[in-house]
Amino acid sequence: MNYAKKSIEDIGTAGKKVLVRCDFNVPQDENGEITADTRIVGALPTIKYLADKGAKIILCSHLGRPKGKVDPKYSLKPVAERLSALLGKTVALAADVVGEDAKAKAAALKDGDIMLLENVRFHAEEEKNDPAFAKELASLAEIYVNDAFGTAHRAHASTAGVADYLPAVCGFLIQKEIGIMGKALEDPKRPFVAVLGGAKVSDKIGVIKNLILKCDTIIIGGAMAYTFKKAAGRNIGTSRFEEDKLDYAREVMVRAVGMGVGFMLPIDHVCADHFGEDATPVPCKHIAEGMMGLDIGPKTVEKYSAALKNAGTVVWNGPMGVFEIPAFAEGTKAIAKAIAESDAVSIIGGGDSAAAVEQLGFADKMTHISTGGGASLEFLEGLELPGIACLLDK
């Protein structure tokens, strides 16, 4: 995929109606109150830049899964209110997406004004990338800006379809994602170390296949490590593994050796006899019968940390253990600390890894924390993301 895409700085926006796809899919409590506004705050640089340039700004986003029907529970009203407070100016919310109210409000915009369309997923045509719906959405504006990296791997009407009808560029969020992650994959500072965790090898097959061609070392943790350990003939007790991925795991390990890529697996573990909040952690070098590995052990932390200390580039996606249970979160915490203390260009690929980094206060020590879970995973796989591929090349 070509990562050199035009941004809002490469196109004239003064006096133009600009449709901006944001990711306002924010968490809310049972009363509809926003519990974390990180995604809204993340969109502010692009919005403020366009407003300062005198653009007429039409924001759009999805929220939750309303399944193509109008559902007040998923209204973007709380987002419009939070945006207004953060910007210090009114962000008008349209009552619909491509209906009379949206069109009237868009037509009435003055230079620097900002409006927000209702949830684009109130229309089933959005996720189907229906051309007629995309064309009607595009008719509201003269320029399209995608700044929602978290949905860039989806070919929906508001993430890709509208680019068939409008000149399309990226906002600052996507510009940063493709700039930093693209360089890491294409021209990394070496040694290039990938840290991959999580539950399933099957979730990371594409990532491993792509990174084994680019990395100097691949570090494996999480439950997926036990599929590799089992494939190598080691006793894993009752640890979770994927029977149908054992041949693939053997093939990967052989390939890594043949290509001179370091492939690191845990050398000790934190185990328990069952999975749960009440499980008692037991450090062990070898997993005994009736026990399951739920985190990497202290010797593994030491080994992995040493590899990370001298890295030039680190990409991390997936926890080292059952991070949501404190007794089995130490390995993930230790890896976060090791990456934070290294001098490497550090890229955190969303999800639990990003949560760990944020919770531990290491966020400001990382080069980049990706805003997209599924999108960052597909990016690391080297796949073409529809929401980025549709943008104009530089």
| pLDDT at 59 (0 to 100) | 98
Domain identity same for 345 and 204: yes
Domain identity same for 283 and 137: no
Domain identity same for 332 and 204: yes
Domain identity same for 149 and 237: no
**What are the residue numbers of the active site?**
39, 200, 351, 374
Give residue-wise pLDDT tens across range 168-220.
999 999 999 898 888 888 889 999 999 999 888 988 898 999 999 999 999 99
Q: Residues near 81 by Cβ (< 8 Å), separated by ≥ 6?
A: none
Give residue-wise pLDDT tens across range 370-392.
877 778 888 888 888 999 999 99
Tell me how many domains the chain contains: 2
Domain identity same for 239 and 332: yes
Asked, for residue 242, whether it belongs to a domain, the answer is yes
Give residue-wise pLDDT tens across range 52-75.
999 999 999 999 999 999 999 999
The residue-averaged pLDDT of 275-293 equals 94
The residue-averaged pLDDT of 314-342 equals 94
Instruction: Give yes or no for residue 38 having a pLDDT over 90.
Output: no
Containing domain of residue 115, as a range?
8-173
Asked, for residue 386, whether it belongs to a domain, the answer is no
Domain identity same for 61 and 99: yes
Q: What is the mean pLDDT of the chain?
A: 94
The structure tokens listed for 160 are 């890709």
| pLDDT at 183 (0 to 100) | 85
CA-to-CA separations, 155 to 162, 349, 355, 368, in angstroms, rounded:
10, 21, 27, 25
CATH of the domain at 76: 3.40.50.1260
| pLDDT at 14 (0 to 100) | 97
The residue-averaged pLDDT of 248-253 equals 95
| pLDDT at 181 (0 to 100) | 86
| pLDDT at 314 (0 to 100) | 96
Domain identity same for 169 and 194: no
The share of the chain scoring above pLDDT 70, in percent, equals 99
Last residue of a domain, one of 107, 139, 173: 173
C-alpha to C-alpha distance for 306 and 287, rounded to whole angstroms = 24
Domain identity same for 73 and 168: yes
Asked, for residue 72, whether it belongs to a domain, the answer is yes
The residue-averaged pLDDT of 87-91 equals 97
Report CA 352 to chain centroid distance, whole Å. 10
The residue-averaged pLDDT of 138-162 equals 96
Asked, for residue 213, whether it belongs to a domain, the answer is yes
Domain identity same for 363 and 260: yes
